Structure 1
Amino acid sequence: MEVKKKPEEEENELVSELKRQLENEHLTPVEKLRLLNDGLNNALNSAAVHVNSGELARLKSQLYLSGVLIHCIHVLSLHPSSLWGDLSAAATLAHLTSSCCVGVEPGPHSETFHRLFLPSVVDALLSLAAQLVNRAENVSLFRKVMDSVGWLLAAHTHLTEKVLSSIHYEQIQVCDDVNVSLLCVQMWIQTCTANSDFLSGLSDDSILLLLNEAIGQLALSSDSTVGGASVRLILLMASQLGRCLRPLLLSFRGLDSLLHKDWRGRGFDRGIDQLIALIQSEKNVVSQSQGSSEHVRAACVIQAAWRSYKTRRRVKSLNRAVSVLQRKYRARRKEQQQQKEAQLWEEELKYQVCVRRQQARRRFHQKQRQLLQLLPADQVQTYLQECENRAAVVIQSFWRGFRERRHYSSTQRHMLRRERAVRTLQRGVHTHTSVKLYISAAGYCLLRLLFCFFQVRRFLQKRRAAKVPPLPPFWIGQKGLTDSRRAELNRQVDEYIATHQSFRVSPEECSCLHEEVQLLLLSVLQTGAQQRMEEQRVEALLAHVHTQLELLRDAPPLSVVTETDADTFLSPSGPVAARARDAHNAILQASRLPWWRMLGDTDAGHVNPLGSTHVPELEEELGGLYIGGTVADKKQTQVDEVKL
């Protein structure tokens, strides 16, 4: 009984057998092509029978790791002449190879698989497709190969850039056959439809190349099927990419006019309208952003011009600044050198002066020694003593002159200080005396003015109170109260008293209270009469004060005053006249005293320098003009005092 093998073992045996057969060096390319088709077909069919989908992926990985797929690439890369024109088998091998490359799990060789192996597969497939383009009878084979390329691109998005930049794909695009162009566009449509994330994984350059191909077909081809497929591809790209595609569409100027003029009325007007609306909407947005970008560009240009101008001016100013700095530095250095030379010259001069002075002193001493040698021995001591005396006299004269000058200057300073002190004291005493006199006179006048102001204020208050109408007494009836009304009110009061008799107060007590009230009312009325008399007296005094103030205000000057005019200013009151006369005499006597007599006085109002004996003489001299009258007036004043 035969033991049934596992699927993995069968697949490994198939791959190993296929690899062993391919390693035979005597096989021709056609034999390898057929061997690969049969082996791959059998292996894929055997793996597809199993329910587990992982078996197929494991088989594809085993084919890649064993190197079978590399043999497929070598065979597909051969020229058709080497295959004896068996292009159908080559297309089948291309389809099988692309199927084996989808779903492979290379494991640790993933980077090599994606970067080296897959691009070589795409290059081989496109090479085969380019060879099939030149033969019109091989359209079905070309479609099969392009479907294989699309299937491979849908699984591996990064191969798109390789396809679009391939030389073989450019040869396919150059072909004028309508079917070839249609198949290329359909390949991209199928790829985008099969994988919705295909376009989002592409770079901007790849998307631009793909868009360029679709728009190039619209510009070059006149077939409606190719145009419809191109429009459908662009709309599919716009739906998947969204706003990312709109700026790229604007790079193709005149696309909307091309669609409107050349492709309208071909059976796909709806797609054309959608594409034109998409382009127009993006143009409006771009026009707005372009206006703002133009403003930004203009601002950048202005800023660049201004900064360049500032830089040029700064460079020019730097040259001037350097020249100014150098000039100032050189001037400063020259000045320092001159100062140093002047200092050296001064030091040299001082040194020369010291040297010459020392030399002169030395010559003087030598000459003096020579003279001493000429003198006799008994006269040398006398000569030296005379020299010492003369030197002492000179020194003493200088010292005494200095001492006298110093003593004189100190004495002068002391005298000046004393004179300034005396002047300061005299000035202070005079100021103090003047202030006291002014204060005494001004104080008396101020008191009089304050008293007058107080009296005037009271007078005005009384006048204002007099203008207010007096309130009628409460015991007098209101205005308009008749005798009948008064009798009626008395009757009502009697009725009320009779009805509401008081049990606490008897009628006798009520009559007593009534009499007391009458007495109090009488005393109030008498007091009011006395107050009115006092007010009248105050008003009379205020009127007299006002009269006196008016006389003082309208008084004539002293140069034209007469005795009659002076009598009008005398006070009729004896005490007031006597007090004014004494104060005036004291002020006159104090003003005539020397300043040294006023040093001890603190209050001029309490000092009477003249005494009472000089008052009659002063009155006779002044005629009683400022002291309240003459001698006869004084006697009259004394009589008034006796009467008071």
Structure 2
Amino acid sequence: MEVKKKPEEEENELVSELKRQLENEHLTPVEKLRLLNDGLNNALNSAAVHVNSGELARLKSQLYLSGVLIHCIHVLSLHPSSLWGDLSAAATLAHLTSSCCVGVEPGPHSETFHRLFLPSVVDALLSLAAQLVNRAENVSLFRKVMDSVGWLLAAHTHLTEKVLSSIHYEQIQVCDDVNVSLLCVQMWIQTCTANSDFLSGLSDDSILLLLNEAIGQLALSSDSTVGGASVRLILLMASQLGRCLRPLLLSFRGLDSLLHKDWRGRGFDRGIDQLIALIQSEKNVVSQSQGSSEHVRAACVIQAAWRSYKTRRRVKSLNRAVSVLQRKYRARRKEQQQQKEAQLWEEELKYQVCVRRQQARRRFHQKQRQLLQLLPADQVQTYLQECENRAAVVIQSFWRGFRERRHYSSTQRHMLRRERAVRTLQRGVRRFLQKRRAAKVPPLPPFWIGQKGLTDSRRAELNRQVDEYIATHQSFRVSPEECSCLHEEVQLLLLSVLQTGAQQRMEEQRVEALLAHVHTQLELLRDAPPLSVVTETDADTFLSPSGPVAARARDAHNAILQASRLPWWRMLGDTDAGHVNPLGSTHVPELEEELGGLYIGGTVADKKQTQVDEVKL
């Protein structure tokens, strides 16, 4: 039979499990946000089911003391980009956090809870609301966050000054959106309505700041809903504070004239009349106390009208400048306050850390002393020696792990650098080999009708295929006679092109022959003896053409002999009219380089050169 657990045990288990899950360092902000929403919702629902109202307060206190609410503050303080835009879940977490802060019984930690923790909660909620201001699609989420702030203010009145002087609330006030201004005013109205003692617990400075915000909305906004809400807020403050508010209203000179000229006929004239009557009655009391002279009263009316006119014109013309000055001043003042609060919070955290460390150290030493007392006297030294060895092993393992990780990281960097160098070298070698292979590939021969290897039988076969294609695919637009004429014209053009190409080749051959002849004559002149030792035989050699012919024949014979000594694989060259070239067309430049630019016989070029020499001689 299972024993039913008590509500306190179930709540303790829920809070412990939630705290254990939040202490996981691998959680992302989004996962932590969802975990907090689910955990707080389940815990609050389980506590709300019980009839005893003290269970809910006990659960909230345990959430604060365990540090779960501090995790909520950290998550709400993050930027929306780190939450992947899940602003709906953030608004839900803000609502749950404000609910957990209402009705908490911190006990001995009451001063820390009210002085440090609650201001940090308000600052996180206002920071989230300020981030939702410029997003038009998040008006409902902004309303939800502001309702959470109002609920927190209704339970903890001393946070009002913190809200009104917050830099995030100033960013919200600067926004020109009508919905944002209306929601801010409605938040104060709901707060004052929910707690009738809210305004009575505020200081004069806080009441003046709240009144300044309501009148500022009347002076800057032109929307009727915002104006009506501001008037309702002032009347609500007047009904709760009584005569304490009237002297503060007189500090805003020209308010009655502003209400009468700018806000009449907007649908809330009754409230405007009540507010003007309240201001006028206080003015009458003040004027009667100062004197009942008609001249003094008239002067006051004229001065009030003139000053209100000047104030309205100055506000309209310098609205932006005044807002900038106020924003800078409040930002500087709030920055100083935040620095002080951060310093206090840091000191408090340092103190708590030191205390917890001392307590843990004390518990550890007490446990060790108890264990030593249980051991026999002859085993104490052995136990201490074993503890020292175990500690030495732990220290050595940590040190060796650190050293190996550092060595491994340096080795990895060296290996990556070496692999990068190897890849670079391989890339360069492959590119070089690819270029070499592409250079060795022989060029493709030109594919045209007069190319080498087209025989008469092949030409007749091609003509037959052309005639069959023409007979099969007859054209209905061109007659056969026109096709034959066009074919003849094409053949004539082709013949002219071929003849022109043959003439160009003959001209190129002639130029090459002349160059070869000149080259031979230059070689003979370079090898000729000087004129001082020349003989008649040498002179006849230069005057007779037989000498150059014999020299060229000798060089050609020597070249053929050298080619015959080459390996068999270098003899696999091109053929020309049944005659095998012993040198091969690809090795001619190499032999010319080896023989010093001499004439190589046995090729097509030397036949052309021989013909030219015969003509010249």
TM-score w.r.t. the length of structure 2 is 0.48
Contact 1:238 1:245 in 2 (8 A): yes
Contact 1:566 1:625 in 2 (8 A): no
**Relative to 1, partners in 2 of residues 1:537 and 1:197: Cα closer, same or farther, differing over 3 Å?**
same
Contact 1:154 1:198 in 2 (8 A): yes
- Cα deviation, residue 610, structure 1: 237
Contact 2:95 2:144 in 1 (8 A): yes
> Which deviates more, 174-183 or 572-581?
572-581
Residue deviations 1:97-134, cap 9 Å, x none? 00000000000000000000000000000000000001
Residue deviations 1:530-565, cap 9 Å, x none? 999999999999999999999999999999999999
Contact 2:513 2:609 in 1 (8 A): no
| Residue 430 (structure 2) pairs with residue 467 (structure 1) | no
**Relative to 1, partners in 2 of residues 1:208 and 1:570: Cα closer, same or farther, differing over 3 Å?**
same
> Which deviates more, 92-101 or 412-421?
412-421
Output the CA distance in 1 between the equivalents of 2:547 and 2:280. 124
Which residue of the partner structure matches residue 438 of structure 1?
Answer: none
Contact 1:580 1:627 in 2 (8 A): no
> Which deviates more, 75-84 or 460-469?
460-469
Output the CA distance in 2 between the equivalents of 1:639 and 1:494. 44
Output the CA distance in 1 between the equivalents of 2:74 and 2:400. 137
**Relative to 1, partners in 2 of residues 1:202 and 1:563: Cα closer, same or farther, differing over 3 Å?**
farther
Output the CA distance in 1 between the equivalents of 2:382 and 2:121. 143
- Cα deviation, residue 526, structure 1: 238
- Higher Rg of the two aligned structures: 1
Contact 1:130 1:168 in 2 (8 A): yes
> Which deviates more, 400-409 or 525-534?
525-534
| Residue 534 (structure 2) pairs with residue 555 (structure 1) | no
Output the CA distance in 2 between the equivalents of 1:420 and 1:31. 39
> Which deviates more, 238-247 or 597-606?
597-606
Output the CA distance in 1 between the equivalents of 2:229 and 2:522. 127
**Relative to 1, partners in 2 of residues 1:406 and 1:168: Cα closer, same or farther, differing over 3 Å?**
closer
Output the CA distance in 2 between the equivalents of 1:295 and 1:518. 126
Contact 2:573 2:583 in 1 (8 A): no
**Relative to 1, partners in 2 of residues 1:372 and 1:334: Cα closer, same or farther, differing over 3 Å?**
same
- Cα deviation, residue 194, structure 1: 0.1
Contact 2:57 2:105 in 1 (8 A): yes
- Cα deviation, residue 388, structure 1: 139
Output the CA distance in 1 between the equivalents of 2:380 and 2:145. 151
- Cα deviation, residue 629, structure 1: 245
> Which deviates more, 164-173 or 545-554?
545-554
> Which deviates more, 186-195 or 625-634?
625-634
**Relative to 1, partners in 2 of residues 1:28 and 1:331: Cα closer, same or farther, differing over 3 Å?**
closer
Contact 1:200 1:240 in 2 (8 A): yes
Output the CA distance in 1 between the equivalents of 2:406 and 2:5. 146
Which residue of the partner structure matches residue 632 of structure 1?
Answer: 605
Output the CA distance in 2 between the equivalents of 1:642 and 1:573. 14
- Cα deviation, residue 3, structure 1: 1.4
> Which deviates more, 622-631 or 349-358?
622-631
Contact 1:573 1:637 in 2 (8 A): no
Output the CA distance in 1 between the equivalents of 2:371 and 2:128. 143
Contact 1:130 1:169 in 2 (8 A): yes
Aligned CA RMSD, in angstroms, stands at 46.8
Contact 1:40 1:96 in 2 (8 A): yes
**Relative to 1, partners in 2 of residues 1:564 and 1:399: Cα closer, same or farther, differing over 3 Å?**
farther
Alignment of 1:35-74 (within 5 A): 35-74=35-74
- Cα deviation, residue 170, structure 1: 0.3
**3-state SS of 2:318 partner:** helix
Residue deviations 1:61-90, cap 9 Å, x none? 000000000000000001111111110000
- Cα deviation, residue 402, structure 1: 144
Output the CA distance in 2 between the equivalents of 1:48 and 1:60. 11
Which residue of the partner structure matches residue 359 of structure 2?
Answer: 359
Contact 1:574 1:640 in 2 (8 A): no
Output the CA distance in 1 between the equivalents of 2:369 and 2:56. 142
Output the CA distance in 2 between the equivalents of 1:524 and 1:58. 109
**3-state SS of 1:85 partner:** coil
Contact 1:578 1:628 in 2 (8 A): no
**Relative to 1, partners in 2 of residues 1:269 and 1:627: Cα closer, same or farther, differing over 3 Å?**
closer
Residue deviations 1:122-155, cap 9 Å, x none? 0000000000001000000000000000000000
**Relative to 1, partners in 2 of residues 1:399 and 1:321: Cα closer, same or farther, differing over 3 Å?**
same
Contact 2:513 2:612 in 1 (8 A): no
Residue deviations 1:412-452, cap 9 Å, x none? 9999999999999999xxxxxxxxxxxxxxxxxxxxxxxxx
Contact 2:559 2:600 in 1 (8 A): no
- Cα deviation, residue 2, structure 1: 1.7
**3-state SS of 1:568 partner:** helix
Contact 1:129 1:146 in 2 (8 A): yes
**Relative to 1, partners in 2 of residues 1:522 and 1:457: Cα closer, same or farther, differing over 3 Å?**
farther
Output the CA distance in 1 between the equivalents of 2:321 and 2:380. 80
**Relative to 1, partners in 2 of residues 1:409 and 1:641: Cα closer, same or farther, differing over 3 Å?**
farther
- Cα deviation, residue 289, structure 1: 2.8
- Cα deviation, residue 53, structure 1: 0.6
Contact 1:76 1:125 in 2 (8 A): yes
> Which deviates more, 62-71 or 623-632?
623-632
> Which deviates more, 402-411 or 604-613?
604-613
Contact 1:214 1:230 in 2 (8 A): yes
**Relative to 1, partners in 2 of residues 1:525 and 1:322: Cα closer, same or farther, differing over 3 Å?**
closer
> Which deviates more, 331-340 or 310-319?
331-340
Residue deviations 1:565-623, cap 9 Å, x none? 99999999999999999999999999999999999999999999999999999999999
Output the CA distance in 2 between the equivalents of 1:299 and 1:250. 16
Contact 1:624 1:631 in 2 (8 A): no
Output the CA distance in 1 between the equivalents of 2:11 and 2:384. 150
- Cα deviation, residue 295, structure 1: 16
- Cα deviation, residue 290, structure 1: 3.4
Between the aligned residues of both structures, percent identity stands at: 100
Contact 1:577 1:628 in 2 (8 A): no
- Cα deviation, residue 471, structure 1: 211
Which residue of the partner structure matches residue 152 of structure 1?
Answer: 152
- Cα deviation, residue 298, structure 1: 21
**Relative to 1, partners in 2 of residues 1:27 and 1:242: Cα closer, same or farther, differing over 3 Å?**
same
Output the CA distance in 1 between the equivalents of 2:74 and 2:499. 156
**Relative to 1, partners in 2 of residues 1:242 and 1:515: Cα closer, same or farther, differing over 3 Å?**
same
**Relative to 1, partners in 2 of residues 1:601 and 1:325: Cα closer, same or farther, differing over 3 Å?**
farther
Output the CA distance in 2 between the equivalents of 1:347 and 1:643. 114
Work out the number of aligned pairs and report it.
616
> Which deviates more, 335-344 or 410-419?
410-419
**Relative to 1, partners in 2 of residues 1:562 and 1:366: Cα closer, same or farther, differing over 3 Å?**
farther
**Relative to 1, partners in 2 of residues 1:221 and 1:311: Cα closer, same or farther, differing over 3 Å?**
closer
- Cα deviation, residue 288, structure 1: 2.5
Which residue of the partner structure matches residue 322 of structure 2?
Answer: 322
- Cα deviation, residue 287, structure 1: 1.6
> Which deviates more, 528-537 or 182-191?
528-537
**Relative to 1, partners in 2 of residues 1:300 and 1:558: Cα closer, same or farther, differing over 3 Å?**
farther
Contact 1:95 1:148 in 2 (8 A): yes
Output the CA distance in 1 between the equivalents of 2:425 and 2:378. 71
Output the CA distance in 1 between the equivalents of 2:202 and 2:389. 127
Contact 1:33 1:90 in 2 (8 A): yes
Residue deviations 1:391-411, cap 9 Å, x none? 999999999999999999999
TM-score w.r.t. the length of structure 1 is 0.46
- Cα deviation, residue 318, structure 1: 57
Residue deviations 1:162-191, cap 9 Å, x none? 000000000000000000000000000000
**3-state SS of 2:602 partner:** coil
Output the CA distance in 1 between the equivalents of 2:19 and 2:382. 152
Structure 1 unaligned residues grouped into runs of 5+: 428-455
Output the CA distance in 1 between the equivalents of 2:365 and 2:106. 124
Contact 2:154 2:191 in 1 (8 A): yes
Residue deviations 1:175-214, cap 9 Å, x none? 0000000000000000000000000000001000000100
**Relative to 1, partners in 2 of residues 1:627 and 1:221: Cα closer, same or farther, differing over 3 Å?**
closer
Output the CA distance in 2 between the equivalents of 1:543 and 1:498. 54
